[in-house]
């Protein structure tokens, strides 16, 4: 997985905030421009050196053709404009996507929303998020690719490369909130759509140009910085999260009246994570899809978002009223595993004390 694209003589990308550039002279060429590989930049809503550079890196990472947006939800809305679905099949997942769909339906009131288990027809858009926010459980991409009569978009925010490659399992389009693992430092907003063909990329680029949801120059530069360490951060987060999940599962399986490492049984009742799923009734084994490791989301600062180098814990119901009020989402950063265990051990100890009062 390469995250390096050489452009010019710069080792590290220079920060440029210019919105406009010198226009070509009339005799320097016609109107035909390849915006994916521009010979020059004219206006930042079309291209800049850093946005072009970051899109090429993301294309290498995702095994497709990537286009960046001002946020994950901006990319999500752009996908709806691109696919123009008659119906959208979606169940659970990030509450922001559901809200975004309702905003889209204000402009397209005839669009219906159905469940993923409903029958699909031509013209439908199947929207699969895997691993799922907030639980971190995997869904079978291939199952929905075979079932769908229209198009399949996979929100792979919780499972970026090399953890999984949705195109290998039949996805037509892949969505990422680059705010999360691609950004990785909790200091930028960005979204990514990845498609298979240059024709699709060109349509999305034209739509983005006139919808105005281009990622900013500073965010492009920050994302370039982040991608330089992406191949180091994500495996560390995945490995630590998986080890932490296994440890928490032992606590969850400890019967009431007994204890594990000083933590009373019954304080923690269930752990949700793709590594704990096993094979389902349809024969789906998450290991066949998450071939590059397990997702890192499943001490710690009370905040929202995820995917950064710092671990975060969130009471999800504070933001999403449809979430289980007992659930706490943990996004693992790059801290030492034993430090994270110590923080969680302390927190569960407080829960144990409170329950006795």
- Split at pLDDT 50, 70, 90, the class of 301 is very low
* Cα dist from 111 to 13, 101, 103, 126, 149, whole Å: 43, 10, 11, 13, 16
* Cα dist from 165 to 40, 183, 281, 307, whole Å: 32, 18, 23, 18
Among the listed residues 62, 60, 101, the one whose alpha carbon sits nearest the alpha carbon of residue 80 = 101
DSSP three-state, residue 226: helix
Q: Where in the chain is the domain with CATH 3.90.1150.10?
A: 231-356
Q: Where in the chain is the domain with CATH 3.40.640.10?
A: 28-227
Look up the CATH number of domain 231-356. 3.90.1150.10
- CB distance 287 to 302 below 8 Å: no
Q: pLDDT by residue (tens digit) across 232-244?
A: 999 999 999 999 9
User: How much is the pLDDT for 304?
Assistant: 46
Question: How many residues belong to the chain?
Answer: 357
Q: pLDDT by residue (tens digit) across 144-199?
A: 998 878 899 999 999 999 999 999 999 999 999 999 999 999 999 999 999 999 99
DSSP label at residue 304: S
Q: pLDDT by residue (tens digit) across 16-70?
A: 898 988 877 666 655 678 999 998 898 889 999 999 999 999 999 999 999 999 9
* Cα dist from 338 to 53, 185, 264, 314, 342, whole Å: 38, 22, 19, 20, 6
Name the phi and psi angles at 351, rounded to 5. Answer: -60, -40
- Split at pLDDT 50, 70, 90, the class of 313 is confident
- CATH T-level fold of 28-227: 3.40.640
């Amino acid at each position: 997985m390469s995250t390096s694209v050489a452009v010019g003589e710069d080792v590290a990308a220079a920060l440029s905030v210019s919105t406009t550039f010198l226009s070509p002279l009339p005799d320097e060429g016609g109107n035909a421009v390849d915006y994916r590989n521009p010979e020059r930049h004219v206006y930042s809503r079309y291209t800049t050196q850093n946005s072009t550079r970051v899109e090429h890196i993301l294309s290498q990472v995702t095994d497709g053709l990537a286009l960046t947006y001002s946020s994950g939800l901006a990319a999500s809305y752009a996908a709806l404009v691109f696919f123009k679905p008659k119906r959208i099949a979606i169940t659970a997942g990030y509450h922001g996507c559901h809200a975004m769909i309702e905003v889209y339906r204000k402009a397209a009131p005839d669009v219906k929303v159905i469940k993923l288990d409903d029958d699909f027809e031509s013209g439908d858009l199947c929207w699969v998020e895997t691993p799922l926010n907030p639980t971190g459980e995997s869904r079978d991409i291939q199952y929905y690719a075979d079932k769908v009569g229209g198009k399949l978009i996979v929100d792979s925010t919780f499972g970026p490369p090399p953890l999984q490659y949705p195109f290998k399992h039949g996805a037509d389009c892949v969505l990422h909130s680059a705010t999360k693992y691609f950004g990785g430092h909790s200091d930028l907003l960005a979204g990514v759509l990845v498609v298979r063909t240059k024709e699709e990329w060109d349509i999305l680029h034209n739509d983005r140009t006139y919808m105005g949801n281009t990622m900013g120059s500073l965010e492009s530069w920050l994302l370039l910085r982040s991608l330089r360490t992406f191949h180091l951060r994500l495996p560390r987060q995945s490995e630590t999260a998986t080890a932490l999940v296994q440890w928490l599962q032992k606590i969850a399986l400890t019967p009431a009246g007994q204890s594990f490492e000083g933590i009373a049984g019954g304080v923690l009742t269930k752990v949700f994570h793709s590594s704990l799923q096993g094979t389902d009734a349809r024969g789906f084994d998450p290991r066949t899809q998450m071939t590059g490791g397990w997702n890192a989301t499943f001490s710690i600062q009370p905040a929202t978002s995820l995917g950064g180098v710092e671990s975060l814990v969130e009471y999800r119901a504070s933001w999403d009223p449809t979430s289980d009020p007992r659930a706490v989402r943990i996004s693992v950063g790059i801290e030492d595993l034993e430090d994270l265990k110590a923080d969680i051990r302390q927190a569960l100890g407080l829960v144990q004390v409170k329950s006795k009062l």
